[in-house]
Amino acid sequence: MASMTRRRSAELPDHPDFLWATDITPKKAYDVIIIGAGGHGLATAYYLAKNHGITNVAILEKGWLAGGNMGRNTTIIRSNYLWDESAGIYDHSLKLWENLEEEVGYEMFFSQRGVMTLAHSVSDVRSKQRNYYANYVNDVDSVWLTPEEIKEIAPIVNISEDIRYPVMGATYQARGGIAKHDWVAWGFAKAAADMGVDIIQGCEVTGFNIVDGKIQGVKTNRGDIAAGKVGMVAAGHTSVLADMAGFDVPLQSRPLQALVSELLEQVLDTVIMSGAVHVYVSQAHKGELVMGAGTDSYNSYAQRGGFHVVEHQLAAACELFPIFERAHMLRTWGGIVDISPDASPIIGLTPVENLFINSGWGTGGFKATPGSGWVMAATIANGEPDKLAKPYALDRFVSGHLIDEHGAAGVAH
Amino acid sequence: MMVNTELAKSPLGGIGLGDATKVFLKEVPFTPGFDLRVQPGTPAFTAVIDALGLKLEPTVGRVMRINADCIVSEDEFPAQGGVIALCLGPDWWYLTGTADIQKLLSSALETHHLSLVDVSSQRTKIEIYGPSAKDVLLHYWEQDLREDNFPIDSCSQGVFAKTPVIMWHCCKDCYILFPRASFAKHIWTALTDAAVEYL
Amino acid sequence: MSNVTFTFDGQQYTGVSGESLASALLRNGVIHFTNSSYKDRPRGIMGLWVEESNALVNVDSGPGEPMKASTTIPIVEGLITRSTQGVGDLPDTRDNSRYDKSNRHVDVLVVGAGIAGLTATKKFAELGKSVILIDDQPTPGGHMRHLGTQVPAELMAVLELANVTYLPRTTVQGLYDQGYSVATQRRTDHLDANVHTEVSRIRTWHIRADHTVLATGAFQRHLVFANNDRPGIMLSHAAATYVSQGANPFKTAVVVTVDNQGYRDALRLHTAGVAVSAVVDIRETAGGASVEAVKDAGIRIVSGKTALDTAGTPTGLVSAVTIAKADGSEPESIDADLIAMSGGWTPIVHLATFIGIKPTWVPALAAFVVERNDVLTSTTGMLAGDFGGDDDAAVFFGPELTTEQALVAFVDFQRDATLRDFNRAIGAGMRSIEHVKRYTSIGTSHDQGKTSGTTTMGLIGQAIGKAPDEIGSLTFRPPYISIPFAALAGRDRGLLSDPIRTTPIHSWHESAKAPMEDVGQWKRPWFFPINGENMHAAVLRECAAVREGVGVMDASTLGKIDLRGKDVGKFLDMIYTNMFSTLKVGMSRYGLMCGIDGMVFDDGVTTRISENHWLMTTTTGGAAKVLDWLEEWLQTEWPDLEVYCTSVTEQIATVAIVGPKSRELMSRLAPDLDVSNEMFAFMENKYADVAGIPARVARISFSGELAYEINVPGSFGLHIWQAVMKQGTDLNITPYGTETMHVLRAEKGFVIVGQETDGTQTPQDLDMDWIVSKKKEDFIGKRSFSRADTAREGRHQLVGILTDDGSAVIPEGAYIVAGVDEKTAPPVKHIGYVTSSYDSAALGHSFALALVANGLARKGEKVAIPMADRVLTGVITDSVFVDKENTRRDG
Amino acid sequence: MLNIPCPYCGPRDETEFHYGAQAHVAYPESPKDLTDEQWAKFVFIKSNPKGWLAERWVHNSGCRRWFNVWRNTATHEFGPSYKPFTQQPKSPA
Rg (CA), chain C: 38
Q: How close, in Å, is residue C87 to chain A by CA atoms? A: 5
pLDDT of residue C191: 87
- pLDDT at A4 > cutoff 60: no
DSSP single-letter state for residue C179: G
- pLDDT at A7 > cutoff 60: no
Mean pLDDT, residues C165-183 taken together: 97
The angle, 0 to 180 degrees and rounded to 10, between the axes of the packed helices C738-747 and C535-548 is 60
Question: Which residue out of C34, C82, C90 would a mutagenesis test of the A interface target, given it has the greatest number of A Cβ atoms within 10 Å?
Answer: C90
Q: How close, in Å, is residue D50 to chain B by CA atoms? A: 30
pLDDT of residue B79: 60
Mean pLDDT, residues C187-212 taken together: 88
- pLDDT at A1 > cutoff 80: no
| Higher-scoring residue by pLDDT: A34, A412 | A34
For B96-100, B103-107, C383-387, which range has the lowest pLDDT when averaged over its residues? Answer: B96-100
Q: Domains of chain D: which residue ranges?
A: 3-82
B-contacting residues in C 100-119 (Cβ below 8 Å) = 100-105
The helix/strand/coil state of A185 is helix
Four-way CATH pick for C401-466: 1.20.1260.10, 3.50.50.100, 1.10.10.1100, 3.40.50.300: 1.10.10.1100
User: Which residues of chain A have a CB within 8 Å of the CB of C94?
Assistant: 322, 325
Strands (E), C366-521: 367-369, 377-379, 410-412, 417-418, 483-484, 516-519
Helices (H), C387-501: 403-406, 419-427, 433-440, 452-464, 485-489
Banded model confidence at residue D38, pLDDT cuts 50, 70, 90: very high
- pLDDT at A6 > cutoff 50: no
Query: What CATH fold (topology level) applies to the domain C559-647?
Result: Alpha-Beta Plaits (3.30.70)
Give C867: exposed, middle or buried? Use CB within 10 Å, 0-12, 13-18, 19+.
middle
Question: Which residue out of D3, D15, D41, D48 would a mutagenesis test of the A interface target, given it has the greatest number of A Cβ atoms within 10 Å?
Answer: D48
The angle, 0 to 180 degrees and rounded to 10, between the axes of the packed helices A181-194 and A84-104 is 70
Helix and strand element counts for chain B (H, E): 5, 11
Q: Is A123 in CB contact (< 8 Å) with chain C?
A: yes
- The length of chain A, given as a count of residues: 413
Mean pLDDT, residues D50-71 taken together: 97
CA distance C134 to A328: 21
**What are the tens digits of pLDDT across the range C564-614?**
999 999 999 999 999 999 999 999 999 999 999 999 999 999 999 999 999
Mean pLDDT, residues C542-570 taken together: 98
User: Which residues of chain C have a CB within 8 Å of the CB of D34?
Assistant: 783
pLDDT of residue A413: 27
Mean pLDDT (chain A, rounded): 93
Across the interface, do D36 and A300 touch by the CB < 8 Å criterion? no
Q: How close, in Å, is residue D2 to chain A by CA atoms? A: 7
Distant-in-sequence contacts of C313-319, Cβ < 8 A, 24+ apart: C315/C32, C315/C42, C316/C32, C316/C41, C316/C42, C316/C230, C316/C231, C317/C31, C317/C32, C317/C42, C317/C44, C317/C230, C317/C231, C317/C232, C318/C227, C318/C230, C318/C231, C318/C232, C318/C233
**What are the tens digits of pLDDT across the range C828-852?**
999 999 999 999 999 999 999 999 9
**What are the tens digits of pLDDT across the range C668-700?**
999 999 999 999 999 999 999 999 999 999 999
Banded model confidence at residue A3, pLDDT cuts 50, 70, 90: very low
Return the number of other C-beta atoms located less than 10 Å from residue B149's C-beta. Answer: 12
**What are the tens digits of pLDDT across the range C404-429?**
999 999 999 999 999 999 999 999 98
Q: Is C176 in CB contact (< 8 Å) with chain D?
A: yes
Mean pLDDT, residues C850-874 taken together: 96
**Among candidate residues C838, C813, C663, C683, the one with its CA nearest the CA of residue C749:** C838
Across the interface, do D3 and C208 touch by the CB < 8 Å criterion? yes
pLDDT of residue C891: 86
Mean pLDDT (chain B, rounded): 92
Question: Which residue out of D4, D66, D76 would a mutagenesis test of the C interface target, given it has the greatest number of C Cβ atoms within 10 Å?
Answer: D66
Mean pLDDT, residues A62-76 taken together: 90
Nearest to D63 among B92, B143, B164 (CB): B92
Does domain C506-556+652-745 bear CATH number 3.30.930.10?
A: no
Across the interface, do C715 and B3 touch by the CB < 8 Å criterion? yes
Max CA distance (Å), chain A: 70
**Model confidence, pTM:** 0.96
Nearest chain C residue (CA) to A155? C92
Residue burial C801-822, b: 16+ Cβ < 10 Å; e: rest:
bbbeeeebbbbbbbbbbbebee
Mean pLDDT (chain C, rounded): 95
* Dihedral over Cα of A255, A258, A259, A260: its sign: negative
pLDDT of residue A10: 58
CA distance C110 to C113: 8
Nearest to D65 among C176, C635, C782 (CB): C635
CA distance C546 to C744: 9
Examine domains C3-83 and C222-343 and report if their fold is the same. no
What phi and psi values does residue A224 have, to the nearest 5 degrees? -75, 145
Across the interface, do B185 and C500 touch by the CB < 8 Å criterion? yes
pLDDT of residue C147: 85
pLDDT of residue B4: 62
- pLDDT at A408 > cutoff 70: no
pLDDT of residue A411: 36
Question: Which residue out of C783, C784, C785, C787 would a mutagenesis test of the D interface target, given it has the greatest number of D Cβ atoms within 10 Å?
Answer: C783
Residue A292 C-beta-side C-alpha neighbours within 13 Å: 26
CA-to-CA dists, residue C240 to C295, C298, C587, angstroms: 18, 18, 87
Do D33 and D41 meet the contact criterion of CB atoms below 8 Å apart? no
A-contacting residues in C 126-185 (Cβ below 8 Å) = 174, 176-177, 180, 182
Across the interface, do B138 and C642 touch by the CB < 8 Å criterion? no
Do A410 and D49 meet the contact criterion of CB atoms below 8 Å apart? no
User: Which residues of chain D have a CB within 8 Å of the CB of A300?
Assistant: 73, 76
CA distance C811 to C838: 9
CA distance D22 to C107: 33
What phi and psi values does residue B97 have, to the nearest 5 degrees? 130, -175
Q: Domains of chain C: which residue ranges?
A: 3-83, 94-219+345-393+478-495, 222-343, 401-466, 506-556+652-745, 559-647, 793-885
CATH class of C3-83: alpha beta
pLDDT of residue C542: 98
C-contacting residues in A 149-168 (Cβ below 8 Å) = 163-165
CA-to-CA dists, residue C829 to A134, A137, C810, C823, angstroms: 11, 7, 19, 9
- pLDDT at C7 > cutoff 60: yes
Rg (CA), chain D: 14
Across the interface, do B159 and D8 touch by the CB < 8 Å criterion? no
Mean pLDDT, residues B100-107 taken together: 95
Query: What CATH fold (topology level) applies to the domain C222-343?
Result: FAD/NAD(P)-binding domain (3.50.50)
User: Which residues of chain A have a CB within 8 Å of the CB of C519?
Assistant: 121, 123
- The length of chain C, given as a count of residues: 891
In chain B, % of residues over pLDDT 90 = 87
**What are the tens digits of pLDDT across the range C781-820?**
999 999 999 999 999 999 999 999 999 999 999 999 998 7
Residue burial C299-311, b: 16+ Cβ < 10 Å; e: rest:
bebbeebbbbbbe
**Among candidate residues C524, C473, C535, the one with its CA nearest the CA of residue C501:** C524
Interface pTM (ipTM) of the complex? 0.95
Across the interface, do D16 and B88 touch by the CB < 8 Å criterion? no
Return the number of other C-beta atoms located less than 10 Å from residue A54's C-beta. Answer: 22
- pLDDT at B73 > cutoff 60: no
Across the interface, do A130 and C790 touch by the CB < 8 Å criterion? no
Across the interface, do A129 and C833 touch by the CB < 8 Å criterion? no
Q: How many CB pairs under 8 A join C and D?
A: 60
CA distance B178 to B11: 12
The helix/strand/coil state of A134 is helix
Banded model confidence at residue C823, pLDDT cuts 50, 70, 90: confident
**Among candidate residues C521, C531, C523, C520, the one with its CA nearest the CA of residue C505:** C523
Nearest chain D residue (CA) to B59? D8
- pLDDT at B1 > cutoff 60: no
Q: Is the bond into C694 cis (omega within 30 degrees of 0)?
A: no
pLDDT of residue C858: 97
CA distance C150 to C148: 7
Query: What CATH fold (topology level) applies to the domain C793-885?
Result: Elongation Factor Tu (Ef-tu); domain 3 (2.40.30)
pLDDT of residue C244: 96
pLDDT of residue A276: 81
User: Which residues of chain D have a CB within 8 Å of the CB of C630?
Assistant: none
Do C243 and C274 meet the contact criterion of CB atoms below 8 Å apart? yes
pLDDT of residue B72: 57
List all chains that touch chain B, counting a touch as 3 or more CB pairs closer than 8 Å: C, D
Q: Is C193 in CB contact (< 8 Å) with chain B?
A: no
Mean pLDDT, residues A22-39 taken together: 95
For A4-8, C584-588, D25-29, which range has the lowest pLDDT when averaged over its residues? Answer: A4-8
DSSP single-letter state for residue C513: T
Across the interface, do D61 and B159 touch by the CB < 8 Å criterion? yes
Nearest chain B residue (CA) to C567? B113
CA distance C793 to C713: 48
**Among candidate residues A260, A234, A246, the one with its CA nearest the CA of residue A337:** A234
User: Which residues of chain A have a CB within 8 Å of the CB of C517?
Assistant: 121-122
CATH class of C94-219+345-393+478-495: alpha beta
Query: What CATH fold (topology level) applies to the domain D3-82?
Result: Folate-binding fold (3.30.2270)
**What are the tens digits of pLDDT across the range A372-397?**
999 999 999 999 999 999 999 999 99
C-contacting residues in A 284-313 (Cβ below 8 Å) = 287, 302, 304, 306-307, 310-312
The helix/strand/coil state of C803 is strand
pLDDT of residue A410: 38
